[in-house]
Homo-oligomer: A and B are copies of this chain.
Amino acid sequence: MADGGMIEIIEYDTKRINKRVQEVISRGNLYFPDIDIEVRAIVDAVRDMGDEVLVKLTEEFDGVSISPSSFRIPPSTIEAAYEKVDAEFLLALQESIQNITKYHENELMRPFRLEEGDGVSLEERVSPIEKVGLYVPGGKAIYPSSIVMNAVPAKVAGVSRIVVMTPPKNSADNPHVLVTFGELGLKEVYTLGGAQAIAALAFGTETVPKVDKIIGPGNIYVALAKRYVYGVVDIDMIAGPSEVVVLADDSADPMFIAADLLAQSEHDQMATAICITTSLRLGKEVEAEIARQIKMLRRQRIVAESLKNHGAIIVVKTLEEGIELVNLIAPEHLELMTQNPRRCLRKVKNAGAIFLGAYSPVPVGDYLAGPSHVLPTGGTARYSSPLSVYDFVKRSSIIEYSKGKIQKKGTLIRRLASVEGLEGHARAIEVREKGGSSPDLPVDANGGLNEKSA
């Protein structure tokens, strides 16, 4: 940084700004060839040998000796955990689950059926995915909110079986995590972690059921394992580092902005926190506030590194210019701290979750408001969406035609088939037009193949 502050201020410098935008967008890559080889070996071994490998790897990686009959947590363990959490946590968790459920109930996808007469019926049927695997990471910190934000949309969609995988240490033994399982009604929890847990979900073992889709965050082993099994099962997005962009005019409170940038940066060293503002004065005040507030945080070192490498205060000439920049970045989280946030909102095209006004900081959405906090990162908000009920349903098209309709429309269908050189397609129509009589006659001139025009 030019001035040696905690965060760089970039004024009107398109080249530097574009570089920073590109950095944000390009962080999400998963190019780790060495780990990838290791992960593939683990996944293949679980696929081929099942439980036996799970026992071995859990001993090796987690330092826990366990037999297949103990993979699954008994209900009594979850019940006992309630004794170890305080009433306020339980209350907060319950309100969170209630709010998230209520919000996502609005996402129920509407099936439809069109009856056209002529014995024709066209229908779109919506049904839940049957079995979903949810990965819950262990590690230095635990994230009950992440369990809620992943599980609730699946539950609202009507998924009948949610199979949870979580490492035996620093997660499956944590009372807050266990109570969260209890409150969400997640009864099928296996104390397995890492790439081996993902493999078990994708292929099934003697003990672990095979699922149709795997969701949930995890470390690089988990992410690479999910990518490797994609196609065998569906997966959710592979989340990149977290991001916030705050768009502010000179009406905004620098103390709030600084607190929000710091909150974002504490996630990890790769987190991005950017303030885009029309006011150089505000930018400088935010910088000063950051310098002041950072001292109060125990995670100072992580925050400082994150701000240094991925933080910025970008000063633009107009709000329009700022919004253009927002649309280029397509941030995971966007805070609009301007005099009229809804006016800005109309021009924002790309952002996962958008927070309006001074009293809507990101943690409101992280924990309590309603929409899932599982959001598109790395610029993918240009084309993808927050986790929702839609991610847990599948649709089928249902088509019913009648003999009369085939006889009426057969010529048109055969004409299109013939242009594509698909003679058998035309014949499948023709045998019906004739009502099941002998189709030995050659296809007629209209519906027949015309290779020259194809």
Contacts and interface: CB of A to CB of B under 8 A. Distances in A.
Interface stretch (A9-17, A48-56, A68-76, A405-413): A405-413
Contacts of A114: 102-103, 106, 370
Contacts of A2: none
A362 interface: yes
A89 B450 CA distance: 12
By CB atoms of chain B within 10 A, which of A85, A102, A436 has the most?
A436
B394 A382 contact: yes
A303 to B, nearest CB: 7
A360 interface: yes
A107 B420 CA distance: 28
Given A129-B382, A383-B233, A262 B419 contact: no
Nearest to A258: B431
Interface in A233-290: 233-234, 253, 255-256, 259-260, 262-267
B401 A122 contact: no
A416 B93 contact: yes
Instruction: Give the dominant DSSP class at A's interface.
Output: mixed
A263 B423 CA distance: 8
Nearest to A132: B383
Each complex incorporates copies of this chain amounting to: 2
Given A352-B396, A386-B395, A402-B359, A263 B427 contact: yes
Interface in A71-115: 85, 88-89, 91-93, 95-96, 102-103, 106-107, 110, 112, 114
Which bucket holds chain A's interface residue count?
A: 35 or more
Interface stretch (A138-146, A216-224, A311-319): A138-146
Interface in A339-398: 341, 345, 348-372, 375, 378, 380-386, 388, 390, 394-398
A230 to B, nearest CB: 10
Interface stretch (A57-65, A188-196, A294-302): A294-302
29 contacts: A28-B231, A29-B231, A85-B453, A95-B412, A106-B112, A106-B114, A119-B359, A122-B371, A127-B349, A142-B419, A144-B416, A144-B419, A145-B416, A175-B453, A176-B454, A212-B383, A231-B378, A233-B383, A255-B431, A255-B436, A262-B424, A345-B398, A351-B396, A353-B396, A367-B412, A369-B401, A370-B399, A375-B397, A382-B394
Interface of A: 28-29, 85, 88-89, 91-93, 95-96, 102-103, 106-107, 110, 112, 114, 119-122, 124, 127, 129-130, 140-145, 175-176, 212-213, 231, 233-234, 253, 255-256, 259-260, 262-267, 293, 296-299, 303, 341, 345, 348-372, 375, 378, 380-386, 388, 390, 394-403, 405-406, 409, 411-413, 415-417, 419-429, 431-432, 436, 439-440, 442, 446, 449, 453-454
